[in-house]
């Protein structure tokens, strides 16, 4: 039993990935870049982002390799979820630009670098080969299901923030519309009083 537990733990470690989940505010006209190191050719790199609030929830972005060549990019996008295979070892850059926006943007994003080496069993571990293969496949299936759940949670998280931002914007518009309406009513009342006063105060009327 202890051997099986240790095998499962090893598989979870081998199937792991190092990721960076961040939230940042990008002011109007600014640009921000974030970096991730890739240690080997062929590693999978995942990039997810979503605009939580600000303007029309749109941003310009670009992903570049260590030689500053563009891998993927997009203009005026609200969110994205991309996976690509690293062809070079080094530092990859993930940049956001709010050049065309007039409002600050709240950006939620993840940068994930993962590799999935398979566990190689020695001759002494041959009796556990069948059990290990089954556990290994189960581990990767669980990992895939967890990734799907995480993506779904991110989707609902983004929808919540955007709806909340829309509600705040609507409340602000209703508030100022009510203020303007009150000012207009008071102004019309004062104008009517002035007209009546002027009409009856004229001589010969």
Please check whether residue 191 lies inside any domain of the structure: no
Show the tokens assigned to 124: 């002494």
pLDDT for 169? 79
Cα(24)–Cα(15) distance, rounded to whole angstroms?
Answer: 29
Cα(108)–Cα(25) distance, rounded to whole angstroms?
Answer: 9
Question: Which range is most confident: 82-86, 161-165, 169-173?
Answer: 82-86
- Is 52 in contact with 58 (CB distance < 8 Å)? no
Dihedral angle sign, alpha carbons of residues 147, 150, 57, 34: negative
Position of tokens 């009796």?
Answer: 127
Number of domains observed in the structure of the chain:
1
Q: How far is CA 12 from the centre of its chain?
A: 26
CA atoms within 13 A on the CB side of 5: 2
Please check whether residue 176 lies inside any domain of the structure: no
What number is the average pLDDT over the span 137-164?
77
Please check whether residue 40 lies inside any domain of the structure: yes
Write down the pTM of the prediction: 0.60
- Is 169 in contact with 90 (CB distance < 8 Å)? no
Please check whether residue 184 lies inside any domain of the structure: no
What number is the average pLDDT over the span 54-61?
86
Please check whether residue 198 lies inside any domain of the structure: no
Please check whether residue 174 lies inside any domain of the structure: no
Please check whether residue 169 lies inside any domain of the structure: no
pLDDT for 203? 54
CATH of the domain at 96: 2.60.120.680
Give the confidence band of 20 by pLDDT, cuts at 50, 70, 90: low
Cα(178)–Cα(99) distance, rounded to whole angstroms?
Answer: 34
pLDDT above 70 (res 9): no
Please check whether residue 46 lies inside any domain of the structure: yes
Mean pLDDT score across all residues of the chain: 78
Position of tokens 């090893």?
Answer: 10
Range of the domain at 61: 2-160
pLDDT for 94? 95
Position of tokens 């967890």?
Answer: 146
């Amino acid at each position: 039993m202890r051997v099986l537990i240790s095998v499962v733990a090893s598989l979870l470690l081998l199937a792991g990935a190092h990721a960076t989940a961040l939230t940042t505010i990008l002011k109007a006209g600014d640009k921000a870049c974030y970096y991730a190191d890739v240690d080997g050719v062929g590693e999978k790199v995942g990039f997810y982002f979503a605009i939580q609030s600000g303007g029309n929830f749109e941003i310009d972005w670009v992903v570049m390799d260590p030689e500053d060549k563009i891998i993927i990019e997009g203009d005026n996008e609200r969110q994205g979820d991309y996976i690509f295979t690293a062809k070079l070892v080094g530092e990859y850059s993930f940049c956001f630009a709010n050049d065309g926006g007039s409002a600050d943007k709240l950006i939620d994003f993840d940068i994930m670098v993962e590799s999935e080496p398979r566990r190689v069993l020695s001759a002494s571990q041959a009796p556990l080969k069948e059990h290990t293969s089954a556990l290994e496949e189960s581990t990767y299936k669980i990992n895939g299901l967890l990734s799907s759940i995480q993506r779904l949670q991110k989707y609902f998280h983004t929808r919540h923030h955007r709806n909340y931002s829309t509600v705040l914007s609507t409340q602000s518009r209703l508030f100022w519309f009510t203020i303007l309406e009150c000012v207009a009513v008071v102004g019309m009342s004062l104008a009517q009083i002035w007209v009546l006063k002027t009409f009856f105060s004229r001589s010969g009327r």
